[in-house]
Amino acid sequence: MTEDSGWDIIIEPKSKIFDLKIRELIRYKDLLFLFVRRDLVAQYKQTILGPLWYFIQPVLTTLTYTLIFGNIAGLSTDGLPKMLFYMAGVTCWRYFADSLIKTSDTFTKNAQIFGKVYFPRAIVPMSVTITNLVTFGIQLLLFFGFYGYYKTFQNFQGGIQLEVVFFPVLVIIMMFLGLGVGLMLSALTTKYRDLKFLVTFGVQLLMYSTPVIYPLSSIPEKYKIFILANPMTGIIETFRFMFLGTGELNYGYLGYSALFSFSLFVVGLIVFNRTEKNFMDTV
């Protein structure tokens, strides 16, 4: 029988290696948004401050970076107010880092539900990425709040650039990058459990090779190629340029980030789909 014959479920031979199961993911879109709703509700349930943590965490992180790297270490901020400079970097980095970390243990964290009912397993990491997108939007509003304060009361001369119309593209690149790395790590952690203990530490180290706490312009030319090899570098520099007018908008760097992120997402999804077939034997 063909797929047009009206069957709800069709049993097929083993899929090809490049079968990303996109059509199946679209079929289960209602389940995807159900998971997103669940994660949003459960994230700060039974906490005293509740949703206020969406604002408290980035503010405390930004204040810490301002004190340590801006005031004590005296690192350059390209002439930007320290709070705005660090909050721009933190806002982007937190979305990428949270997407990566929270999707990296998909199989081990959801083994019970995966063993009881069938649905496309990639729905779970994708729901995490979309949930983090809501968090990113909330923290972006916080960034705009600080931007408005410095613009109104501190005579900040920078401003939003015309290239901000491409901001959704920047978000999609970050989404693919975080999801792609997370999918690959989730497949690896089914066999190598100690990887999940290294993920958070590794992400923290990776941050120091990204212009979150320093501008790209402050890096000596002989070391700049290593910083630019990190796809988040072009993203954060572009974000600062779009909203603050300072930073480096280089379409070559951004194109590299986009190509790297999309390629990593495709590879990650392939590895994830191959792993889901026998992960119950190793989890």
Q: How does pLDDT run across 138-174, given as a tens digit for each residue?
A: 899 999 999 999 999 888 888 888 889 999 999 999 9
Is 55 within the bounds of a domain? yes
pLDDT in tens, 111-136: 777 777 778 888 888 888 998 998 89
User: Which pLDDT value is given to residue 232?
Assistant: 95
Q: Is 34 or 52 the better-scoring residue by pLDDT?
A: 34
Burial of 55 (0-12, 13-18, 19+ CB in 10 A): middle
**Average pLDDT, stretch 83-100?**
93
* CA-only gyration radius of the chain, Å: 21
Average pLDDT, whole number, for the chain? 85
Is 13 within the bounds of a domain? no
User: Which pLDDT value is given to residue 1?
Assistant: 46
Residue 255 has pLDDT above 80, yes or no: yes
Is 225 within the bounds of a domain? yes
Q: What is the pTM of this model?
A: 0.85
Is 182 within the bounds of a domain? yes
Q: What is the pLDDT confidence band of residue 247, given thresholds at 50, 70 and 90?
A: confident
Q: How far apart are CA 213 and CA 66, in angstroms?
A: 9
Q: Is 104 or 92 the better-scoring residue by pLDDT?
A: 92
User: Which pLDDT value is given to residue 24?
Assistant: 78
User: For residue 277, what are the domain limits?
Assistant: 18-281
Is 246 within the bounds of a domain? yes
Q: One-letter amino acid identity for 153?
A: F
Is 30 within the bounds of a domain? yes
Is 219 within the bounds of a domain? yes
Residue 15 CA, chain-centre distance (Å), reads: 29
Q: How far apart are CA 48 and CA 45, in angstroms?
A: 9
Q: How far apart are CA 195 and CA 189, in angstroms?
A: 6
Number of domains in the chain: 1
